[in-house]
Chain A
Amino acid sequence: MNEWIVILGAGAVTFLTRASFIVFADPQKFPHAFRVALAYVPAAVLAAIVVPGLAIAHGALDLTASNPRLLAGIVAFAVALKVRNPIVPIGAGMAALWALQALAG
């Protein structure tokens, strides 16, 4: 029961944010401060999603070289700065993770 409210609600939230300016509003009509803040949403939100996936291992913070996800993420990030095609950094990151796990295991 609650699941279906969440499913429909998540659909509404994702559609309304996507449709905000494409369907409903003209961004030029919003205050300057709002548009300034909007510019930093991707960097902030994407970092908040990515960092725990790299720095938290087995439920605990691990910023040492013994954390294979952190090292693999650094490899993938370096590649992503150079290569635009997403296959390459994603492939490099997975390959690095598997290699580090094989070495550790």
Chain B
Amino acid sequence: MVSNERTPDARGEFLAGCRDMAPVLVGTVPFGFVAGVAAVGAGMTPLEGIALSLFAFSGIAQLVVAQLVAAQSPVVLTLAAALIVSLRFLMYSAALSPHVAHLPARWRVPLAYLMTDQGFAMGVHIYSQPGDLRLRHWHVLGSGITLWVVWQSSVVAGAVLGAQVPAAWSLDFVVTLSFLVLLAPALRTRADLAAAVVAGAVVLLAAGLPYKLSLVVASLAGIAAGVAAEWMHKR
């Protein structure tokens, strides 16, 4: 053993993860509040709204479920819409899996549950940084728990306090902006751009469809457009 080798320190990694998540929380608080308000506004009890947040831990899935519950949609369609908006987790999961494949299931299960759009972006960034990677999952855990605590607290506040924020504040726009901030860096190639433009056009054209089917149709059309653009570029 080399005694002066810089050993990675689990506590230090964990706390660095908590700190690094801080800038993201500015968007998390109003978004969580809006999600809590939406659940109660859809006719759920505050307890149901909070339970939905604990089980799903996904802002957009919670909002989509709330909208479809409010519209009294069939359970199968509600869950299909939740699945469509969660498809991006498949891609995140595939991209992160090589970094955590060596960990036991007692680590991988909670890290999977805690993975969010923001957590994924930070995880990819943190695993690309130089240095000892052996304890970097503590960083992912710290950032994930930080986001989780702030998100759930904000949802509870929204579900309990209800719609006491004046509509003129347009707090719901934070939801759109939160995803817009993630969309911008996802557009790296012409094929990405094709996927986004087609999905954006189709979602407007299909806006009249019931049960948020526009989201499903537009997502699938966008994915197809991205694949087609890549294929045409390669020929």
Q: Mark B155-181, 1 if CB is under 8 A from A, else 0.
A: 000000000000010100111111111
Residues of A within 8 Å of B84, CB to CB, are 45
A56 to chain B, nearest CB (A): 7
- Shortest beta-carbon distance from B103 to chain A in Å: 9
Q: Check B191–A40 contact: CB distance below 8 A.
A: yes
Distance of B108 from chain A, by nearest CB (Å)? 5
Q: Contacts A39-B226, A87-B23 given; indicate if A10 touches B65 (C-beta within 8 A).
A: yes
Q: Shortest CB–CB separation between residue A64 and chain B, in angstroms? A: 14
Interface centre among A2, A11, A39, A46 (most CB of B within 10 A): A46
The reply to whether B87 and A17 form a contact with Cβ atoms under 8 Å apart is yes
Query: Which residue of chain B has the shortest Cβ distance to A98 in the bound complex?
Result: B170
Shortest Cβ distance from A15 into B: residue:
B113
A14-B86 in contact given A7-B51, A37-B223, A47-B222 (Cβ < 8 Å):
yes
Is A81 interfacial (CB 8 A cutoff)?
yes
Residue of chain B at shortest CB distance from A55: B204
B184's partner among A4, A22, A40, A77 (CB-CB below 8 A) is A77
B203 contacts A52, CB within 8 Å? yes
Looking at the assembled complex, report how far the CB atom of A81 sits from the nearest CB atom of chain B, in whole angstroms.
5
Within 8 A of A (CB), among B32-89: 44, 48, 51-52, 54-58, 60-62, 65, 69, 75, 78-79, 82-89
Give the number of chain A interface residues (Cβ < 8 Å). Answer: 65
Q: Given the complex, which residues of A lie within 8 Å of B225, measured CB to CB? A: 40, 44
Beyond A15-B113, A44-B218, A101-B170, whether A89 also contacts B89 by CB under 8 A is no
Q: Decide if B226 touches A45 in the complex (CB within 8 Å).
A: no
Q: Is the CB of B105 within 8 A of A20?
A: no
Alpha-carbon gap, A42 to B177, bound state (A): 15
Residues in B neighbouring A44, C-beta threshold 8 A: 195-196, 198-199, 218-223, 225-226
**Which residues of chain B have a CB within 8 Å of any CB of chain A?**
23-24, 26-27, 44, 48, 51-52, 54-58, 60-62, 65, 69, 75, 78-79, 82-94, 96-97, 100-101, 105, 108-109, 111-113, 115, 118, 168, 170, 173-187, 191-193, 195-200, 202-204, 207, 214-215, 218-223, 225-227, 230
Q: Please list the residues of chain A having a beta carbon within 8 angstroms of any beta carbon in chain B.
A: 2-11, 13-15, 17-23, 26-27, 33, 35-56, 61, 69, 72-73, 76-77, 80-81, 84-87, 89-91, 93-94, 97-98, 101
Q: Would you list the 3 A-B pairs with minimal beta carbon distance, nearest first? A: A44-B222, A11-B55, A40-B226
11 A/B residue pairs, CB under 8 Å, sorted by A: A22-B112, A22-B115, A35-B94, A43-B186, A47-B222, A51-B200, A56-B204, A77-B184, A86-B27, A93-B177, A97-B170
| 8 new A-B contacts at CB < 8 Å, known A46-B196, A86-B27 | A22-B108, A27-B94, A38-B91, A46-B183, A48-B203, A77-B180, A86-B24, A93-B180
